[in-house]
Every structure is written in C-alpha cells, then in structure tokens.
Amino acid sequence: MIVRWPDPDDIDRYEEANPGLAAAEIVRDIVRLATIAELCEQGFLNADCVLTGGMALRLRGSSRFTVFDTDCSMRGRLDEVELAGSLDIRTDELIVRPDDGTNWSRGRRITIAQPIQYEAYFASVGLGPVTDRFSFTVNMRGLENPATWVSLLHPYPELVFSDEILVPVMNIGEQAAEKTVGWAASSLTKHYLDLAWIGREFGESLDKPELQRLCRRKLEVNAKIFPGAYENLRDLPDLLVPLAKPDTYYGPLNTERDHRAQTIRFMGNQISWAEAQALVRGRIIPRLFDVKKAA
C-alpha cells in the first residue's frame, strides 16, 4: 500500500518548515494517514461510514493540524470487532495495535477507540521505533447526506502510496452544520475556525435551505441525546448569538468555560480569530438567517 515512507531527516525538515509542530506530532500524523488508507482498503470507511471533523477538512485543503483524534460518522451501529481488525497494521515500517476494547470510551451513540498504540520504525534514528498513541472516534448520531469521495492528499512528499487512495468524507454542507451546532454546544475554537474555513472556501456554494435543514436536524438529534444541555438550542434562531458573538459565548457543554485556543495548530497558512469572525458573519450567517450580517 505504501511504497515509500519519510525517514528521520524528512521529518526533521517537516518540523523546521512548520514552527509550532513537534516531530512527534508529525510522526503521529503520518501514522494516522497510513491508518486512514488502511481503513479505506479494508472497507471500514465506505459510503455509510465517512471521515469527518478536522481531518476530513484537511483532505479538502484546510491547514488546521489535527493532533490526536480522527473522527468518522456512520449510519447504523458499530461493529467493534471489525474496527479493531481494520486498525491492526503490521508492516516492517509501522505497527499499529488498537486496545482490545477494555479502555474504549462508549457514550451516547459514540465510541472512541483508545488508546491505539503504534511503533513507527520509519522514524527511528537507531534507538528503536518512535512510539506513541492516538484515538479514533466513531459517531453514530446521524449521517444525513451521501458521502463525498476525495483523494488522500497530504503535505509529506516522501510519503507515497502505491495507488491513489479515495476517502469518503462527509458532505461539506453537513460538515458546516455539524461545526455550527458543535460550536453552539461546546464553544471550542477549533469548531469556529473550521466553520470560518468552510465559509471562505465553500460559502458561496452552500445551499441555504439545505444548510438550515441540516442544522435543524443536528439540533433535533442532539436534543434527544443531551436534553438538558440543548434546552436553549432548539432551532435556528438559537444559533445566531453563538455565531455572531464568539468572544463572549460559552456553550452549555463547555463547563470549564475554556475555548482551548492553546491547542490549535496549523500546517501552513493560518486563519486569525478576527478573520474567522468576519468569515462567519459574512459567509455563514447569511446562509442561515435572513440578515446580511450580524450586529
């Protein structure tokens, strides 16, 4: 599947070219990309189980660097045995070993496979493989639209696959809806920045009635799962203040009142907080409400 791996010198160059990213984070990212390729090859990622979250946006060109978790959304129920088998990789250059399920987190229609441990021999400098862990989240809270298939693009020239890998990702309108509702509920900076990026790159093509429908649907589903938290997030009007006033807004699931901006990483050009607010107000809010801009 992979015909060429980056070596330690390549990883050093990636680190030097991207201040703020540590070599260990880059190695983990390469491991996660290889895992996504394996999940596609094994058929776990398919038309009914799509990549979503920040990694899916990266495959569309986003520069926000996702550090630890990979997210997917699926129709139906998860087969944990299938997922564990698809996450198990044994090659000369990389070994990936998922936990046997003992430490997996199982919540309300969501499962997090963790820890997924790995041994990255391709990154070794003679002292044994680079070892670390990551997680893989499976969301079963509703996949509304058909998958979009994109190439497994990445910023590492020395990472070469034998064939083109096509990855099923969530429809961009549905991702915009998930980021909108995710921000309103959790008020994490990453959701707002991702939504701003969607607005910049796809805002003009987002269908207003469809985005409204998807946001209502996401609110409806989450209100059933978290009835208390979503008491004041029931319909589109409840999303306006969170989107328009992000500096002072904290969602009901953000009990720590922390936007966690310190965890944001980029590989390439960044979207500033000021630019993000302008993009959301100019490209997203008009696609949801009958206003030209927020006050």
What pLDDT digit, counting tens, does each position of 15-35 carry? 999 988 999 999 999 999 999
What pLDDT digit, counting tens, does each position of 106-122 carry? 998 999 999 999 999 99
> Can you list the alpha helix ranges (DSSP code H) found in the chain?
8-17, 23-42, 53-58, 80-87, 172-186, 189-202, 208-225, 240-244, 273-279
Q: Say yes or no: 31 and 83 in one domain.
A: yes
The pair of structure tokens assigned to 265 is 């990483």
Residue 206 contacts residue 176 (beta carbons within 8 Å): yes
User: What's the sign of the alpha-carbon dihedral 160, 162, 164, 167?
Assistant: negative
Omega prior to 8 cis, within 30 of 0? no
Q: Say yes or no: 93 and 32 in one domain.
A: yes
What pLDDT digit, counting tens, does each position of 221-275 carry? 999 999 999 999 999 999 999 999 999 999 999 989 889 888 899 998 999 999 9
Percent over 70 (pLDDT), the chain: 98
Please give the Cα distance from 48 to 62 (Å, whole number).
23
Q: Say yes or no: 141 and 188 in one domain.
A: no
Residue 126 has pLDDT above 90, yes or no: no
What does the mean pLDDT of the chain come to?
94
Model pTM score: 0.94
Tell whether 295 is covered by a domain: no
Q: Say yes or no: 65 and 100 in one domain.
A: yes
Residue 98 contacts residue 44 (beta carbons within 8 Å): no
Q: Say yes or no: 137 and 16 in one domain.
A: yes
Task: Identify the pLDDT of residue 44.
Answer: 97
Q: Say yes or no: 38 and 137 in one domain.
A: yes
Confidence label for 194 from pLDDT (cuts 50, 70 and 90): very high
Tell whether 294 is covered by a domain: no
Spatial neighbors of 247 by CB under 8 A, at least 6 apart, are none
What pLDDT digit, counting tens, does each position of 271-288 carry? 999 999 999 999 999 999
Say which CATH number the domain at 16 has.
Answer: 3.10.450.620
Residue with tokens 């969501």: 110
Q: Say yes or no: 181 and 165 in one domain.
A: no
Per DSSP, 132 falls in state: E
Q: Say yes or no: 141 and 259 in one domain.
A: no
Task: Identify the pLDDT of residue 125.
Answer: 86
Per DSSP, 249 falls in state: -
Phi, psi of 119 (to 5 degrees): -125, 110
Tell whether 293 is covered by a domain: no
Task: Identify the pLDDT of residue 294.
Answer: 42
Tell whether 292 is covered by a domain: no
Spatial neighbors of 9 by CB under 8 A, at least 6 apart, are none
Question: Of 143, 169, 195, which residue sits at a domain end?
Answer: 169
What secondary structure does DSSP assign to 37-97, as a single string?
HHHHHHTSSBTTEEEEHHHHHHTTT--EEP-SEEEEEESS---HHHHHHHH-EE-SSEEEE
Based on the structure, what is the number of domains in the chain? 2
User: Averaged over 38-58, what is the pLDDT?
Assistant: 97
Count other Cβ atoms within 10 Å, centred on residue 232: 10
Instruction: Give Cα 132 distance to the centre of its chain.
Output: 20
Q: Say yes or no: 11 and 55 in one domain.
A: yes
Tell whether 223 is covered by a domain: yes
Confidence label for 292 from pLDDT (cuts 50, 70 and 90): low
Through-space distance between the first and last CA atoms of the chain, rounded to whole angstroms: 52
Residue 167 has pLDDT above 70, yes or no: yes
Residue with tokens 């520069």: 63
Q: Say yes or no: 151 and 81 in one domain.
A: yes
Question: Of 169, 198, 225, which residue sits at a domain end?
Answer: 169
Maximum alpha-carbon separation in the chain: 61
Q: Say yes or no: 11 and 117 in one domain.
A: yes
User: Averaged over 95-106, what is the pLDDT?
Assistant: 96
Question: Of 169, 201, 218, which residue sits at a domain end?
Answer: 169
Q: Say yes or no: 220 and 165 in one domain.
A: no
Tell whether 224 is covered by a domain: yes
Task: Identify the pLDDT of residue 89.
Answer: 96
Instruction: Give Cα 154 distance to the centre of its chain.
Output: 14
Domain of 190? 172-287
